[in-house]
Chain A
Amino acid sequence: MANFLDTTVDELVENFEILGDWEERFAYLIELGKKLPPLDESEMVEDNRVHGCQAAVWLKMLPTNDSTFHIHADSDAFIVKGLIAVLLMIYNGKTAEQILADDGTATFAKLGLDRHLSPTRRNGLYSMLSRIKALAAASVAQPA
């Protein structure tokens, strides 16, 4: 279950390179987003809401027995779901220490997403990233 998307970051980068133009890349991102398991409606609450995006975003992290985290997130916009999929490829199934050690910028730079998303959208992406980091940091500071 560690990678239900069946795609690794390396494969994603490779696929992005094959798909020359950005329209196709976004379409691909949207397809990835469609594979995301939806969040239960009972979890779409203010506590899980991530602000700073023009679409609605919810995100929660569940600790597992082997001290890694499962990340669950959802949005009402397909492109945001695609971005969530990318975040999951980087951070899902990792320990808090691993999450905190990787700021994700290298991956986003490789994908060109840092440059091609509008500032507001990028804020959405970085808001989600910040939430993942904050939740990881909180678990280290106060072990469950």
Chain B
Amino acid sequence: MNPPAETANLAKRDESVDWTALRDDFPILRETVNGHPLVYLDNAASSQKPQQVIDAVRRYYEHDNANVHRGIHELSNRATEAYEGARQRVADYLNAGSRQEIIFTRGTTEGLNLIANTWALEKLREGDTILLTEMEHHSNLVPWQILANRIGAKLDFIEITGDDGQLDLQWLDEQLARARLLSLTHISNTMGTVNPVAEICARARAAGVVTVVDAAQSAGHAQVDVQAIDCDFLAFSGHKTCGPTGIGVLYGRRELLEAMPPYQGGGEMILKVEYRDSTFNVAPHKFEAGTPNVAGAVGLHAALDYLDAIGREAIYEHDQRLAKRACERLAEIDGIRVFGPAEGRSGVVSFVLPDAHALDLATMADQKGVALRAGHHCNQPLLAKLGVAATARASFYFYNTESEVDRFIEVLHGVRKIFV
């Protein structure tokens, strides 16, 4: 459990981080694909795992595994300590007020669905407005559509300005005045836009609007401080932050969590059960029915330790450096459309070539060992708004290098020759 002070110290050593040496911690980066060294540029979809995380999960199963919160025996105590220790680690990582504000989920998607099916289902009424943005991932859109259809609520959207992927905030106060809930992404998984969530949440708070931040693309890539952002809820996924799949986090402001109804029913979330009625446990246990993903939480703990040892500011700057290099090289191609802001973007770069479909590019790049994403990136309405059917996307992380960016560009030029 690293105290935040240590995190801050480590973050200052940006210049001294040996990024290439960090690659040795990731066994999968030694893979070859189709006879070429793997160049993994699909980090916005999922990150790779360092040996430290793999070892932590393995060690848990080899030495500590048992069910949590129930047993008197030694292993159950160890498993419970590991699980609750991970919760405290997440609270520190997000600078939450306490670990009672940290709910373990399967991932960002489940976190957002949890809010929709508990807080929002209970508090929102017919005719109420849920404010989203036009750049939301389907997981921060579809749960609200389902809820809105169920209770007769309305959806409203903060628009984007165009290919530069900025939110058009000129009507924000008017939109907030009509809304009860605002849910928005911190960093766009398609455009790489870093939204000013603290400013937007402050304006929402002033308007009495409850705020939800989708931190799937930011939690592993930048400082995410729930007190600084001052949001009511924030969700992220372990697998995008060097952690295991199947574990995620929902932060919720304590007073909201305590007033919320439970999510799923089952073991763990109850205090007392009779045949016809039950009383429920307190937060966060109220929202964690059934045996949780203990190994996932343990792996996430190791992942957050790993990220903080490097320093999140340093990671953020590294991502940006690679994205900038990629954008500059892409801009040299006649007729290309590169999406997202020119300045201050994250490590996500989406683009459309004038002569080859994203799918063609991604297929041919894969033949050269370069892993790109092609498609709608779970952003179908956004792509429709931009007037494109699919984009190609390169997304970088701290273990990517400048030479990998150059390799990606070189492969891209080679592929284009086939299509022109």
Measured CB to CB, the residues of A under 8 A from B are: 22-23, 26-27, 30, 53-56, 76-80, 117-118, 120-121
Contacts and interface: CB of A to CB of B under 8 A. Distances in A.
A76 B389 contact: yes
A79 B374 CA distance: 13
B366 interface: yes
Nearest to B356: A78
A54 B419 contact: no
B390 A55 contact: yes
A50 to B, nearest CB: 14
B34 interface: yes
Interface of B: 34, 356-360, 363-364, 366-368, 374-376, 389-390, 418-419
Nearest to A117: B363
Contacts of A78: 356-357, 360, 419
23 contacts: A23-B364, A23-B367, A23-B368, A26-B418, A27-B418, A30-B419, A54-B374, A54-B390, A55-B357, A76-B357, A76-B389, A77-B358, A77-B359, A77-B360, A78-B356, A78-B360, A79-B364, A80-B359, A118-B363, A118-B366, A120-B375, A121-B359, A121-B363
Contact of A55 (B34, B364, B368, B389): B389
A22 B356 contact: no
Given A27-B418, A30-B419, A56 B389 contact: yes
Given A77-B359, A79-B360, 10 more contacts: A22-B34, A26-B364, A54-B374, A54-B390, A76-B390, A77-B358, A78-B356, A78-B419, A80-B359, A120-B375
Contacts of B376: 54
Nearest to B419: A78
B363 A26 contact: yes
A27 B364 CA distance: 9
Contact of A54 (B34, B364, B375, B418): B375
Nearest to A120: B375
Nearest to A33: B360
A22 B374 CA distance: 20
B240 to A, nearest CB: 20
B367 A54 contact: no
A80 B374 CA distance: 13
Contacts of B366: 118
A85 to B, nearest CB: 14
Contact of B418 (A30, A77, A121): A30
Contacts of B357: 55, 76-80
A121 B366 CA distance: 12
A9 to B, nearest CB: 22
Contacts of B364: 23, 26, 79
A55 B383 CA distance: 13
A36 B368 CA distance: 27
A5 B376 CA distance: 31
A107 B368 CA distance: 25
Nearest to A28: B418
Contact of A26 (B367, B374, B375): B367
A54 B45 CA distance: 15
Contacts of A76: 357, 389-390
Contacts of B367: 22-23, 26
Contacts of B368: 23
Contacts of B34: 22
B108 to A, nearest CB: 21
B418 to A, nearest CB: 5
Nearest to A31: B418
A77 B419 CA distance: 10
